[in-house]
């Protein structure tokens, strides 16, 4: 079962006014390295930045996100005291060869600068995803949004 993991630094940054998810550029990064195996575990407070994630090589990466991994169709709404962040589902396709295996999908704020590229959350697929040339996988967010805060 796919697991959603919030990044502690994102919670702090959100409360301190460092994010505007409605206006910022939000991207994904793919990794096959377990967070606890990184030099600085990005799930621990003080480490929640993209620089602490070992990304896969994006050679042979083709997608429906204009090849730069920007989330499209981002919505950021509050209603009745519940905030919901969502975006369009993502289709990742290997093109021209196999795509490097990945298990972890990080969502990060590419517009954040203090520090740069703050991680928002991690989606752990719990198994590696391997795509041969021409194969695709759809990353379907939860029907109620990527995350909600009530």
pLDDT tens column, 7-51: 888 876 665 567 788 888 999 999 999 999 999 999 999 999 999
How far is Cα 63 from Cα 83, in angstroms, rounded to an integer? 28
Which of these, 103, 104, 105, 98, lies nearest to 131 by C-alpha position? 98
* pTM score of the predicted model: 0.90
């Amino acid at each position: 079962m796919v697991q959603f993991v919030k990044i502690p630094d994102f919670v702090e940054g959100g409360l301190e006014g460092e994010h505007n998810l409605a206006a910022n550029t939000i991207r994904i990064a793919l990794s096959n390295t377990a967070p606890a195996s990184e030099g600085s575990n990005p799930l621990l407070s003080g480490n929640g930045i993209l620089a602490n994630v070992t990304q896969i090589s994006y050679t042979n990466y083709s997608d429906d996100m204009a090849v730069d991994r920007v989330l499209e169709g981002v919505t950021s709404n509050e209603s009745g005291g519940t905030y919901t962040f969502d975006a369009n589902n993502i289709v990742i396709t290997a093109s021209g060869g196999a795509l490097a295996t990945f298990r972890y999908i990080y969502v990060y704020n590419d517009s954040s600068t203090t520090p740069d590229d703050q991680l928002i959350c991690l989606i752990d697929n719990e198994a590696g995803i391997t795509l041969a040339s021409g194969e695709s996988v759809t990353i379907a967010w939860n029907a109620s949004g990527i995350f909600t805060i009530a």
